[in-house]
Amino acid sequence: MKKVVVMASGEGSNFSAIVDFGIIVDRVITDNPNANVIKRAEKVNVPVFVVENKKKERVWHERTILEIIPEDTDLIVMAGYMRILTAWFCNKWKDKMVNIHPSLLPAFGGGCHAIEDAWNHGCTVFGITVHWVIPEVDAGPIITQRAIHKFTDDTLESITGKIHRVEHYVYPETIKKLIS
């Protein structure tokens, strides 16, 4: 069986979608002790490791995470992990780490408000991108994308909901293909 590790900092809806799709997640790593993903993981008996980083250094944080990630991990799945990883960490897991971003990269990469930024920019096509992680943020080779068209009655809220719903089937499907 392939070993999948999820890294997440927040709600964890993508984590749940991945599990619901039938993908076995070996463990979850979070940097946020209040992240809802912790509750979601506990509910489905997936071990969670909390590595806080309040006053600690980035290198300390990543060394600690590296000790938690099994050497034989096949895929690290970033699902809303809100920290920028060092080149050292990215290169260690080159071609084994994926991320999902709620925009059609390279548009609106590098930030935490991609959907809102696209909305404020007047975009009529939104989307999601699954990509390999490289040291440059949201810039790795694209694995797959989906476009989501804005309808006249859409609001920022409704388009955000549509984007997340698309994430919840595209990410698990993509992960499944990658580990098959």
Contacting positions for ligand GRF (CB under 6 A):
8, 10-14, 79-80, 100-102, 164, 167
Which is closer to ligand GRF, CB of 61 or CB of 131?
131
For the bound state, the minimum distance from the C-beta of residue 147 to ligand GRF, rounded and expressed in Å, comes to 15
* Residue number with CB closer to ligand GRF (56 or 165): 165
61 is catalytic: no
Query: How many Å apart are CA 148 and CA 66, to the nearest integer?
Result: 36
**Which of helix, strand or coil describes residue 157?**
helix
Among 137, 130, 105, smallest CA distance to 14 is for 130
Distance CA 74, CA 95 (A): 10
Work out how close the CB of 96 gets to ligand GRF at its nearest, in angstroms, rounded to a whole number: 18
Q: How far apart are CA 143 and CA 152, in angstroms?
A: 30
> Which one of the listed residues 101, 113, 121, 149 is annotated catalytic?
101
Nearer to ligand GRF, 11 or 154 (CB): 11
The nearest distance, CB 73 to ligand GRF, in angstroms, is: 19
Instruction: Give which of 65, 63, 60, 58 is closest to 5, Cα–Cα.
Output: 65
**Where in the sequence numbering do the catalytic residues fall?**
101
